[in-house]
Structures are given as C-alpha cells and as structure tokens.
Amino acid sequence: MPQTTIHFSIKPNGTVKETVEGVTGKSCKQLTKPIEDSLGNVVAFTPTTDYYQQATENLEYLEDHDWHNYHSVLNTKEHLENLEDHDWI
C-alpha cells in the first residue's frame, strides 16, 4: 500500500496549494475536506490521474461482469448484498 502524503505550498499572498499523493479515487476529497474547511474557500480543484483510478477500476469491473440473465437475479437478497459490498465511488 502506498504512503499517503499531503503537500502544502503557501504563497506570500496567503494562497495555499494542496497536493495529495498515494490516494486513488475520490477519497482524496474526503481526506482533505477537514483541512480545506479550516483553511477557507477552495478556489480551484485540479484532479490528477489518481483521482480517476477508482472510477476506472469500477468501470472495468462492470465491463468484465457477466450480465447475461441479469434480470433473473435482480431482486434476490444475495445479489443486492453483493451490490452493497462494492465501493462504487
């Protein structure tokens, strides 16, 4: 598991640039939200390729899944529990 690192660059005018490393998907926003709330308004957000990593993995799962006869299992309790166990974010 990669190490999670948050870098802060503070300019003389008080602007703070935050860079997150070692986190994939949208969890970086959850990780940094308390810090950003303390610092003030977020002026810009520029996602890295890691930000889209989790979404890509979820899409690959959906593409690789065998959806044949999907309608026949849609309402089963086991299938619903399986869907709830996935991290869709």
Q: Which of 11, 31, 12, 10 is nearest to 20 (CA)?
A: 31
Q: Give the model's pLDDT for residue 3.
A: 83
pTM of the model: 0.53
Q: How far apart, in Å, are the Cα atoms of 19 and each of 40, 67, 78? A: 16, 39, 40
* Amino acid 73: pLDDT: 46
Give pLDDT, residue 52.
80
The count of residues in the chain is 89
Taking only the tens of pLDDT, the chain with its 89 residues reads 568 888 888 889 888 888 888 888 888 888 888 888 888 888 888 888 888 876 566 666 666 766 655 555 455 666 666 667 666 65
